[in-house]
Structure 1
Amino acid sequence: MNTHKQVKRPKEVNNSGFSGNSSAEGKRLLNKDGSANLSKTGIPFYQRFSIYHTLLKMSRMKFLIVVFLFYTTVNLFFAGIYMLIGTDKLSGGPDNHRFIDNFLHSFFFSSQTLTTVGYGHVAPVGVVANCIASIESFLGIMTFALVTGMFYARFSRPKAYIRFSDNFIVSPYQEGRAIMFRLATYKNNDLTDVSAEVTAAVHHMENGKRITRFYPLKLEISRINSLAISWTCVHYMNEESPFWQMREEDMMARSIELLVTIKGFDDHFSNTVQQRTSYANEELVYGARFVPMYERSESGGHTEVMLDRIGSFTRHSFVEEPDRQPTDEAG
Structure 2
Amino acid sequence: MSSIRSPFGQDVEKQGIKLPKKWNDTNSKIPTDRTMAVGGGVAVGGGGVAVSGDSSEFPRKRRQRYVEKDGKCNVHHGNVRETYRYLTDIFTTLVDLKWRFNLLVFTLVYTTTWIFFGLIWWLIAYIRGDLEHTDDGEWTPCVANLNGFVSAFLFSIETETTIGYGYRVITEKCPEGIVLLLVQAILGSIVNAFMVGCMFVKISQPKKRAETLMFSQNAVISMRDNKLCLMFRVGDLRSSHIVEASIRAKLIRSKQTKEGEFIPLNQTDINVGFDTGDDRLFLVSPLIICHEFNESSPFWDISQEQLAREQFEIVVILEGMVEATGMTCQARSSYLDSEVLWGERFTPVLSLEEGFYEVDYDTFHQTYPTPTPTCSAHELAELAKKGEEIPLPPLTPPPIQNPNQNLDGERGRGEWDEEGEVESVSNGDVKKMDVQH
Normalising by structure 1, report the TM-score: 0.59
Deviation of residue 120 (structure 1)? 1.6
8 A Cα contact 1:114 1:136, kept in partner? yes
> How far apart in 2 are the matches of 1:217 and 1:118?
63
* SS of corresponding position for 1:143: helix
Q: Determine the structure 2 residue equivalent to 1:165.
A: 214
> How far apart in 2 are the matches of 1:301 and 1:326?
42
Q: How has the CA–CA distance of structure 1 residues 252 and 135 changed in structure 2, closer, same or farther, with 3 Å as cutoff? A: farther
> How far apart in 2 are the matches of 1:46 and 1:134?
32
Q: Determine the structure 2 residue equivalent to 1:113.
A: 159
Q: Determine the structure 1 residue equivalent to 2:252.
A: 201
Q: Determine the structure 2 residue equivalent to 1:174.
A: 223
Q: How has the CA–CA distance of structure 1 residues 46 and 284 changed in structure 2, closer, same or farther, with 3 Å as cutoff? A: same
Q: How has the CA–CA distance of structure 1 residues 246 and 123 changed in structure 2, closer, same or farther, with 3 Å as cutoff? A: farther
In the alignment, which of 172, 187, 190 is matched to residue 142 of structure 1? 190
8 A Cα contact 1:293 1:305, kept in partner? yes
What residue ranges of structure 1 are gaps of 5+ in the alignment?
A: 1-20
* C-alpha RMSD over aligned residues: 5.3
Over the matched positions of the two proteins, sequence identity in percent amounts to 17
Shifted more, 58-67 versus 221-230: the winner is 58-67
Q: Determine the structure 2 residue equivalent to 1:28.
A: 66
> How far apart in 1 are the matches of 2:70 and 2:293?
24
Amino acid at match of 1:170: A
Q: Determine the structure 1 residue equivalent to 2:168.
A: 122
Q: Determine the structure 2 residue equivalent to 1:279.
A: 334
* SS of corresponding position for 2:117: helix
Q: How has the CA–CA distance of structure 1 residues 117 and 31 changed in structure 2, closer, same or farther, with 3 Å as cutoff? A: farther
> How far apart in 2 are the matches of 1:75 and 1:134?
15
Tell me, yes or no, if structure 1 residue 254 matches structure 2 residue 311: yes
- Per-residue CA deviation, residues 92-121 of structure 1 (Å, 9 max, x unaligned), is 357xx8xxxx53x44432221112222222
Amino acid at match of 1:28: Y
Alignment of 1:10-159 (within 5 A): 28=66, 37=75, 39=77, 41=80, 43=82, 45-46=84-85, 49-55=88-94, 66-82=105-121, 88=131, 91-92=144-145, 102-103=149-150, 105-124=151-170, 126=174, 129-147=177-195
- Per-residue CA deviation, residues 117-166 of structure 1 (Å, 9 max, x unaligned), is 22222235755555444322221122224455557777999999554436
Alignment of 1:245-324 (within 5 A): 245-247=302-304, 250=307, 253-260=310-317, 262=319, 269=326, 273=328, 275=330, 277-279=332-334, 281=336, 284=339, 286=341, 302-303=356-357, 309=361, 313-314=365-366
Q: How has the CA–CA distance of structure 1 residues 243 and 114 changed in structure 2, closer, same or farther, with 3 Å as cutoff? A: same
Deviation of residue 262 (structure 1)? 3.3
8 A Cα contact 1:170 1:177, kept in partner? no
> How far apart in 2 are the matches of 1:239 and 1:188?
39
Tell me, yes or no, if structure 1 residue 223 matches structure 2 residue 223: no
Amino acid at match of 2:253: V
8 A Cα contact 1:202 1:255, kept in partner? yes
> How far apart in 2 are the matches of 1:134 and 1:158?
38
Deviation of residue 305 (structure 1)? 6.0
Q: Determine the structure 2 residue equivalent to 1:184.
A: 236
Q: How has the CA–CA distance of structure 1 residues 179 and 168 changed in structure 2, closer, same or farther, with 3 Å as cutoff? A: farther
> How far apart in 2 are the matches of 1:189 and 1:65?
35
**Which structure would you say has the larger RCO, counting Cα contacts within 8 Å and 6 or more residues apart?**
1
- Per-residue CA deviation, residues 159-197 of structure 1 (Å, 9 max, x unaligned), is 9955443665232533766341414374724524x4322
Q: Determine the structure 2 residue equivalent to 1:4.
A: none
Which structure has the bigger radius of gyration? 2
What residue ranges of structure 2 are gaps of 5+ in the alignment?
A: 1-30, 34-63, 132-141, 379-437
> How far apart in 1 are the matches of 2:93 and 2:338?
28
Deviation of residue 286 (structure 1)? 4.2
8 A Cα contact 2:219 2:230, kept in partner? yes
Amino acid at match of 2:117: F
- Per-residue CA deviation, residues 225-260 of structure 1 (Å, 9 max, x unaligned), is 622233332334577642353559846852424252
Amino acid at match of 1:108: L
Q: How has the CA–CA distance of structure 1 residues 238 and 186 changed in structure 2, closer, same or farther, with 3 Å as cutoff? A: same
Amino acid at match of 1:144: N
Shifted more, 66-75 versus 40-49: the winner is 40-49
8 A Cα contact 1:202 1:212, kept in partner? yes
8 A Cα contact 1:202 1:256, kept in partner? yes
Amino acid at match of 1:136: Q
